[in-house]
Amino acid sequence: MKQSGNTVLKALVLRGSRNLFTVVAGESAAVLECRIKGKILKGLENYYNPLAPGDRVSIEPDPLHPGTALITAAEERCNSLTRFNQKGQKSQILAANIDLAFCMTSPLSPPFRPRFLDRVLVQAEISRITPVILCNKWDLFDGEPDTEERLSDYRRIGYQVICISAKTGFGMEKLTSILDGKTSALLGQSGVGKTSLVNALSPGLGMKTGTVNEKYNRGNHTTALSVMLKLPGFNKTTFLIDMPGIRRMVPDGIKTEDLILYMKEFSGFAGKCTFGLSCSHRSEPGCTVREAVNKGFIHPDRYESYLRIGDELAAL
């Protein structure tokens, strides 16, 4: 295709900051460094970052500078995983066009944090991306009953939970069978082992991993940008997006009153309370959500997450 004398190619964004992107293009799978032509992409002006790994774009290779190109347009996305960027007060795109969101935690080092998991699950639901809970570092699991109980509750409400160890290979067969042929994003706090998992799945890539900061028992932020990788040895449409550790996952794209719709076991109660859709599920009489908590259908910790995420949404 010719356009104003320049060759236009289709490309896939592998990584990017706010103005410099790495893409892979064409049959030759050439990797090119790109900037956006005219600096702004139509339709994406209101995002914190215009493009993310997984985005599909049109590019014009720069004949004067081999290995570089200009991005001229972005294709419409099937979906995008976003979060609210508080600094920029805008939606930040973490990944685009993905099939699975692996919500990654660890039982220890860093400690199991279901509260964080709930936020990531809500965001995946908002984005209409199937979440799968991955509990890595299972080799460190000490049998803590609270962790077992929470993981089994996530299974009960309908999430797939896979316990793995990037270190020993435990659980990897199950994981590889579900990610084969798909584009998946790895979401989780720093130090849970996202990059280690990428390396375990494709040893040749040798991505840099961090050591868990002993003092705070938190990881250092080793991966500064999200990066999309093609996994060798799998179906050729298998990609993984390794993301930087997310410290704060502020929900993006919903109103406070709609939060209930994005929490799996809560959603069936929407509109069923005495005060109908105007119930905040906090103190109103005849609240079916609080009744479900009392009856054990909704886990008290999930209800606590609901309250906290709701407070945060209301304060945005």
Ligand X SMILES: Nc1nc2c(ncn2[C@@H]2O[C@H](COP(=O)(O)OP(=O)(O)O)[C@@H](O)[C@H]2O)c(=O)[nH]1
296, amino acid identity: G
Nearer residue to ligand X within complex by CB, 210 or 251: 210
What's the distance, CA 108 to chain centroid? 21
Nearer residue to ligand X within complex by CB, 50 or 191: 191
Distance of alpha carbon 176 from alpha carbon 202, whole angstroms = 11
Distance of alpha carbon 62 from alpha carbon 288, whole angstroms = 61
Q: Of these, 72, 127, 223, 288, which contacts Mg ion (CB under 5 A)?
A: 223
Structure tokens at 111: 């400690």
Count of residues binding Mg ion (CB under 5 A)?
Answer: 4
Chosen from ligand X, Mg ion, Zn ion, none, partner binding at 279 (C-beta under 5 to 8 Å by type): Zn ion
Chosen from ligand X, Mg ion, Zn ion, none, partner binding at 83 (C-beta under 5 to 8 Å by type): none
Q: How many CB atoms are located within 10 Å of the residue 24 CB?
A: 15
The one segment of 31-39, 43-51, 122-130, 204-212 that binds ligand X by CB under 6 A: 204-212
Nearer residue to Mg ion within complex by CB, 72 or 195: 195
Regarding beta strands 218-219 and 212-213, do their DSSP bridges make them parallel or antiparallel, or are they unpaired? antiparallel
Q: Tell me the residue nearest to ligand X as measured from the CB.
A: 193
Chosen from Mg ion, Zn ion, ligand X, none, partner binding at 193 (C-beta under 5 to 8 Å by type): ligand X
Distance of alpha carbon 258 from alpha carbon 2, whole angstroms = 46
211 is a site residue for ligand X (CB under 6 A):
yes
Distance of alpha carbon 310 from alpha carbon 301, whole angstroms = 14
Contacts of 207 (CB under 8 A, 6+ apart): 195, 198, 199, 223, 227, 229, 242
The one segment of 69-77, 132-140, 143-151, 218-226 that binds Mg ion by CB under 5 A: 218-226
Q: Of these, 49, 72, 105, 136, which contacts ligand X (CB under 6 A)?
A: 136
The one segment of 34-42, 54-62, 183-191, 257-265 that binds ligand X by CB under 6 A: 183-191
Q: Are 103 and 60 within 8 A, CB to CB?
A: no
Q: Which residues of this protein are in contact with ligand X, per CB under 6 A? A: 136-137, 139-140, 165-167, 188, 190-196, 209-212, 219, 222-223, 245
